[in-house]
């Protein structure tokens, strides 16, 4: 099976469509959450994913747009975008977002997925090996896809070490221009496919990953899209200019 992994679309239909076009034929689409927030096309992004029968998770911006979590801890720019998104969502897309779980397991394909982390599915950022360990200790499958940080990267370690050692050795790799991994038995992997709507590693290209379940290979891809059109739509919608400007630099 060939599975497309998307994350952190954030209402950016230009980035989303570029990733879908570049990925080509796939057997399943899994979105790791934050379909809305920041971008000017929350309804369009929901409808694209619904039309493709994508398996989607709920992210913290999705939850905030539904008023399921407090916006107290969001910065001013993010808060303004969330409040704007609340007013834009159609009843159908509101109901669809409300139905999404924060995490999900796929035992037949031997992986699981979460928006942020397995310790805190909506909110925790996996930013270092110490935080990654908290998810490794909770993994029920050898591979877990996550998002939330908007950075394509990978942590991995030996399952035996996690079970027997308080501080197991953990390896790390980032994929600012793409990359991948061929998984080995006995290893645990935490992989972030990056954001197709708002990358934050200095490369503005949309990111996505393809998972070949039989070969146990995951590849992360970067694809150019019309960042200027996405930026222009944000400004025309009356959203903070910063949200459009940062798309041009991948920050």
159-178 per-position pLDDT tens digit: 999 988 889 999 999 999 99
pLDDT digits (tens, 9 = 90+) for 115-144: 999 999 999 999 999 999 999 999 999 999
Q: Check the CA dihedral 77-125-88-51 and report its sign.
A: positive
Geometric angle at alpha carbon 59, from 55 and 62, rounded to 5°:
100
Over the chain, what is the mean pLDDT?
Answer: 97
Across the 251 residues of the chain, what is the mean pLDDT of every consecutive 10-residue run? 98 98 98 97 98 98 96 93 98 98 96 97 96 97 98 97 90 96 97 97 97 97 98 97 97 89
The CA-atom distances, in angstroms, between 60 and each of 16, 35, 69, 110, 228 are 19, 10, 8, 25, 26
pLDDT, tens only, 44-61:
999 999 999 999 999 999
Cα 37 to the chain's mean position, in Å? 13
pLDDT over 90, % of the chain? 97
Residue 215: give the domain boundaries.
Answer: 2-248
Query: In the prediction, which pLDDT does 224 show?
Result: 97
Q: How many domains does the chain fold into?
A: 1
CATH number for the domain that contains residue 89: 3.60.21.10
């Amino acid at each position: 099976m060939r599975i497309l992994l998307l994350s952190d679309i954030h209402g950016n239909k230009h980035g989303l469509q570029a990733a879908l076009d570049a990925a080509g034929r796939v057997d399943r689409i899994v979105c790791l959450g934050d379909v809305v927030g920041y971008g000017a096309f929350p309804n369009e992004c929901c409808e694209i994913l619904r039309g493709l029968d994508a398996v989607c998770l709920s992210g913290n911006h999705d939850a905030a747009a539904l008023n399921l979590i407090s916006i107290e801890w969001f910065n001013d720019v993010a808060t303004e975008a969330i409040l704007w998104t609340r007013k834009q969502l159609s009843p159908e897309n509101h109901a669809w977002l409300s139905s999404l779980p924060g995490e999900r397991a796929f035992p037949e394909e031997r992986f699981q997925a979460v928006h942020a982390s397995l310790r805190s599915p909506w909110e925790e950022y996996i930013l270092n090996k110490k935080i990654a360990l908290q998810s490794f200790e909770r993994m029920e499958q050898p591979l877990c896809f996550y998002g939330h940080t908007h950075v394509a990267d990978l942590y991995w370690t030996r399952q035996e070490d996690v079970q027997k050692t308080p501080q197991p050795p953990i390896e790390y790799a980032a994929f600012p221009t793409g990359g991948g991994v061929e998984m080995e038995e006995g290893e645990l992997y935490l992989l972030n496919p990056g954001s197709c709507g708002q990358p934050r590693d200095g490369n503005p290209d949309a990111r996505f990953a393809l998972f070949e379940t039989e070969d146990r290979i995951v590849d992360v891809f970067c694809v150019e899209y019309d960042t200027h059109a996405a930026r222009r739509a944000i400004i025309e919608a009356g959203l903070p200019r910063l949200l459009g400007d940062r798309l041009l630099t991948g920050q």
